[in-house]
């Protein structure tokens, strides 16, 4: 099989590579912890619900993700793992337990079921480490960024795939993910989204796949034909050489995707593979649909697509492009209901909704973005610390250590001040410049703190949603939870304690941030 040519990287990629190399994580907006249910083929074969109905745990390292899986009573015990921060090979160790089968240097979802892995707060970035799903079912991966995973060079992870599924996997929904590389095979990268060895009933939705030689495949060879069906909808593929996706014997429903700069080829059904290709928008690309690099034919059903500055090669012994005027050569029956956006609005609706940290926005079916009704989750517990449930906002007793201390925080709303949270006056308050933010109390010398009391301003009661309390000296999470009030945790000696709001029902207004020994 002919390998894709070297990737033509955009100028913007240099910024991404620099950020990865220096460990810089770009600031990202807050996202919800859960959204409405699965779509496409992931709704079939019993459906895909992930960790619904189970406990919710917070993790900030790969090791903590593995610990959460392993602490379950069984490999099928439902769990939702909320991830915030940067996951790396260096902070992902193998963990053993009754509910897991993990490995170091890769997020391993192996031999398990009923798991949701979702980015929350400021975002979850899996930097140079892949997510490996093997011999597992009923898995949801949502609102995460996976970047620069390599199969050669250093470090290597997951065979070079950003997200890879193999060996008897079924019912997986990957949603609002951003999967990016910094080159093609010659630079050490492989696929962004690969499925093989009996992987079935998968949906990839509202995601970005960018800057890679290979978008993804369904079937690892021309003899690996027992995969699919798969749905791809409302995804953005940009600056990809090939495989958007490559379908070996599999059936795929591909609708309302936005393809920009497919450099060599795009959707590639072969060896009996079938693609139903509806209302997609292809721009500035080459050979976006057909059977390529093989004499084993594939098939397609097309309707409503827009081809904007697309070029087509001449047919040959191992190339059968569908264009320049694509027509259907098969029919594909889809067993689930869905609503098509008009192809003309696909660039705008996909740009507004696809990728991590977009608030889990989706199309309303009429080319407008909307936020779906959230799926309720339990209050998260922090790993390895515990979750706190605030008590009533009366004083916990003792001396308020915030009086006479100093304060700072993230960007504040106009007309508010950090000092308003430590002045003993509930008539003044601090607000972040957006829906989330942080405010800190700090001292000139180490001070022991075991309780804080967050008092919301008049008229703003209940606005604060989820939060974390951080050791401002080390960044360690002391506890997490939701709602204002008295919060207790293990006594900690520190010079700075931070209250970080990670979600809110309306504009947060912190009238007082009291601290107690």
Which residues are designated catalytic? Answer: 243
SS3 content of the chain, % helix, strand, coil (to 5): 10, 45, 50
73, exposed or middle or buried, with CB in 10 Å at 0-12, 13-18, 19+?
A: exposed
Tell me the C-alpha distance between 483 and 57, whole Å: 17
Number of helices and strands (H, E) in the chain? 3, 36
User: Parallel, antiparallel, or unpaired for β 144-147 and 113-127?
Assistant: parallel
User: How many Å apart are CA 232 and CA 255, to the nearest integer?
Assistant: 6
- CA 11 → CA 141, 148, 259, distances in Å? 30, 17, 18
Pair 479, 502: CB distance under 8 Å: no
Distance CA 145, CA 156 (A): 17
Phi-psi region of 432 (alpha: psi -120 to 50; beta: other; left: phi over 0): beta
Measured distance CA(343)–CA(488) in Å, rounded:
53
Q: Do 202 and 164 contact (CB within 8 A), yes or no?
A: no
| Nearest Cα to Cα of residue 501 among 432, 417, 418, 451 | 432
Question: How many angstroms separate the CA atoms of 194 and 164, rounded?
Answer: 5
C-alpha angle 336/337/340, rounded to 5°? 130
User: What is the maximum alpha-carbon separation in the chain?
Assistant: 83
């Amino acid at each position: 099989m002919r390998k894709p040519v070297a990737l033509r990287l955009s100028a913007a990629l240099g910024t991404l590579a620099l950020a990865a190399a220096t460990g810089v994580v770009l600031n990202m907006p807050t996202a919800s912890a859960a959204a409405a249910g699965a779509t496409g083929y992931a709704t079939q074969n019993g459906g895909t619900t992930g960790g619904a109905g189970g406990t919710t745990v917070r993790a900030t390292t790969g090791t903590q993700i593995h610990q959460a899986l392993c602490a379950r009573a069984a490999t099928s015990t439902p769990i939702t793992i909320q991830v915030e921060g940067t996951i790396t090979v260096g902070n992902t160790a193998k963990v053993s337990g009754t509910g897991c089968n993990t490995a170091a240097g890769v997020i391993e979802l192996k031999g398990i079921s009923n798991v949701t892995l979702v980015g929350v707060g400021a975002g979850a970035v899996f930097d140079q480490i892949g997510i490996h799903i093997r011999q597992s079912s009923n898995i949801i991966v949502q609102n995460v960024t996976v970047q620069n995973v390599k199969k050669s060079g250093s470090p290597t992870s997951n065979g070079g795939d950003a997200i890879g599924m193999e060996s008897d996997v079924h019912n997986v929904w990957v949603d609002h993910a951003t999967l990016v590389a910094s080159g093609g095979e010659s630079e050490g990268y492989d696929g962004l989204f690969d499925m093989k060895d009996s992987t079935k009933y998968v949906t990839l939705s509202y995601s970005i796949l960018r800057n890679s030689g290979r978008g993804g495949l369904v079937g690892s060879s021309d003899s690996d034909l027992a995969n699919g069906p798969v749905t791809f909808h409302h995804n953005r593929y940009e600056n990809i050489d090939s495989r958007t996706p490559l379908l070996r014997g599999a059936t795929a429903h591909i609708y309302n995707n936005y393809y920009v700069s497919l450099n060599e080829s795009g959707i590639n059904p072969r060896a009996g593979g079938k693609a139903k290709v509806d209302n997609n928008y292809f721009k500035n690309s080459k050979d976006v649909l057909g059977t390529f690099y093989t004499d084993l034919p594939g098939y397609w059903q097309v309707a409503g697509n827009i081809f904007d500055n697309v070029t087509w090669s001449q047919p040959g012994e191992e190339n059968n492009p569908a264009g320049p005027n694509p027509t259907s050569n098969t029919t594909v029956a889809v067993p689930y209901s869905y609503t098509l956006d008009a192809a003309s609005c696909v660039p705008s609706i996909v740009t507004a909704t696809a990728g991590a940290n977009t608030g889990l926005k989706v199309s309303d079916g009429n080319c407008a973005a909307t936020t779906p009704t959230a799926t309720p989750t339990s209050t998260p517990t922090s790993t390895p610390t515990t979750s706190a449930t605030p008590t009533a906002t009366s004083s916990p007793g003792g001396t308020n250590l915030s009086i006479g201390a100093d304060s700072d925080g993230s960007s504040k709303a106009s007309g508010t001040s950090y000092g308003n949270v430590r002045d003993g006056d509930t008539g003044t308050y601090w607000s972040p410049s957006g829906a989330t933010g942080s405010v800190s109390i700090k001292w000139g010398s180490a001070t022991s703190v075991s309780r804080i009391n967050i008092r919301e301003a008049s008229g703003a009661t209940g606005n604060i949603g989820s939060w974390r309390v951080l050791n401002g000296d080390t960044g360690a999470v002391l506890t997490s939870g939701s709602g204002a009030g008295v919060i207790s945790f293990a006594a900690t000696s520190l010079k700075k304690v931070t209250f970080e709001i990670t979600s809110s029902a309306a504009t947060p207004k912190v009238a007082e941030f009291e601290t107690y020994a």
